[in-house]
Amino acid sequence: MIEERITALLSGVADGKRYWVKAPRRDDGSLAVTPPYLVLHRVDGLPNYHFCGRGTVESRVQVNCIAETYGAVKALARAVVTTLDMFSDPAAGIYGVFVDGEGRDLTEDAPGGVNTSDAGSKLFGVAVDFRIHHAG
């Protein structure tokens, strides 16, 4: 699955804090991780069919970058792009990772853990979108 490979690729970004779907929370609902961190979402996956059957899949993955300042979150988004853009490892079933959106600012009510206010401080979020061509 591409989730494991993408998680491994991002191990050197955001101090290694990267989570699928949502950031970890404590029992009381407060954030259990300190920024910076990444929240990843597999938005969709579109299989490629041909006469011989099913081929590769093109998945869209959104990486939400979260940090305490706007400057820090923009730098984090650039680090994610540098790490993933143009990556390929055919032996592992990843044929290409391509930026689909270099970063849009997330509002406080955006999905993916951006609406967090521990100790009264708001966090900043930037979403970076990728198209990943991989084995099905």
User: Domains in the chain: how many in total?
Assistant: 1
> 40: domain range?
2-135
- Please tell me whether the overall predicted TM-score, pTM, comes out greater than 0.85 for this model: yes
First-last CA distance in the chain: 8
Whole-number pLDDT of residue 117:
54
Please state, in angstroms and rounded to a whole number, the distance separating the CA atoms of residues 77 and 68: 13
Report the CATH number that the domain containing residue 117 is assigned in CATH: 3.30.2000.10
Q: Strands across the sheet with 18-20, in order?
A: 18-20, 37-50, 53-67, 124-135, 94-106
10 Å Cβ neighbour count for 86?
10
Q: Which of 49-53, 95-99, 117-121, 127-131 has the lowest mean pLDDT?
A: 117-121
